[in-house]
Amino acid sequence: MAAGRDELRAPGQAVPYEDELEASDSADDVSESAENPSENAEDLEDPGDGEGAVPEAGPQVKRVRVRRSVAGRRLDKYMHGRFPRISRTLIQKWIKDGEITVNDLPAKPSYEPKEGDIVRIVIPPPPPSEVVPQDIPLDILYEDDWLIVINKPIGMVCHPAYASQTGTIANAVAGYAERLSKGSDPFRPGIVHRLDKNTTGVMLIAKCDEAHWRVSLQFERRTVKKEYFAVVHGRVSLDGDVIHKPLAPHPDTTQRMILPGSIYPPRQAMFKEAITEYRVRRRYAGYTAVDLFPRTGRTHQLRVHMSSLGHPIVGDRLYGGRLVSERELSGEGSSLPLFEFQALHARRLRLVHPIQETPLDIEAPLPPHLARLTELLEGHRNDR
């Protein structure tokens, strides 16, 4: 159970995290009673707080004895009065999670503390403020004093979504590089752009802030040329075209994007411009290999755009793609899926070096699962 600093801080109040852990001696939660909650309670030393019992960086345990009951005062409001810098919402969560107990028993937020009750609260340690460096192997495509370009592996997210998450690209580069750009987010050191968890290929990392903002400016101005390789279902009829369809997050989930004209209320969706150019690389019986050139960088853009043409990317079940097996493609071999994610690879990245101001053109070879897919298509689905 981890809580962010903002959840433990009153709006507009900048105080050290450690100060927020102390019970208030001047609590002013009087919405249901004019009595000061600190006058109705006695702080106790927790048996587990002895020397060496709890690491300094670990959770803190506080125990409070209720001196007298106050009619109508709920447990969540009572504890908020004792710890006013912890939000009532977070206190309610801790009660439901069993981190706040009464007489060592679970309670409800609506419970009214009685005289003599012992309320125990376990307060988590402050979250880490930086990404944890990890020794995770990286496939380095290019490196100099200012940049690292990697071939991102399958199944790896780019940066932590929460403080304790590890095993990300950010953790790996923090363990590899002596220095990285800071950017605006401490959990994204060096991360200039992102790829989906199950998309492989070229990904650029900045070692210093100047390189970071200079490359970011190129992305913002759309002068970075990105090229992806994908295998889609069906036979794409045109040799190439430009898809110009705006995208917005699904109103009910952040894990999916939608197009205009969907059944979802437009007032709940904020559509942004999204443009993708595609070119057919090779047609096969029932499949097409395509090169994709995104002119914008929206979440799931390539996946949604190809699906909108009736040609979802192979393996992309979120947007209509199917899993395929060696037996389905060749008539023999295993009937198990070749892979269970989208057949999409960031093949090439072209930009101007942010410091040297020379052209930089980086390519990443196909990962084994896509190499095997194309091998099977060439050998058994040749449609020339």
What are the residue numbers of the active site?
196
Residue type, 153: P
Dihedral in degrees, nearest 10, Cα atoms 314, 318, 319, 323: 20
Give the CA distances from residue 379 to residues 26, 330, 342, in Å, rounded to whole numbers and listed in that order.
77, 8, 21
Compute the residue count for the chain: 384
| Backbone region of residue 16 per phi and psi (left: phi > 0; alpha: psi in -120 to 50; beta: other values) | beta
In the beta sheet, which residues pair with residue 351?
360
CA dist 31 and 88 (Å) reads 13
HSE-up of residue 383 (Cα within 13 Å, Cβ side): 17
CA dist 44 and 62 (Å) reads 7
Residues with Cβ within 8 Å of 16's Cβ and at least 6 positions away in sequence, in order, are: none
Residue written as tokens 């093949």?
347
In the beta sheet, which residues pair with residue 289?
231, 282
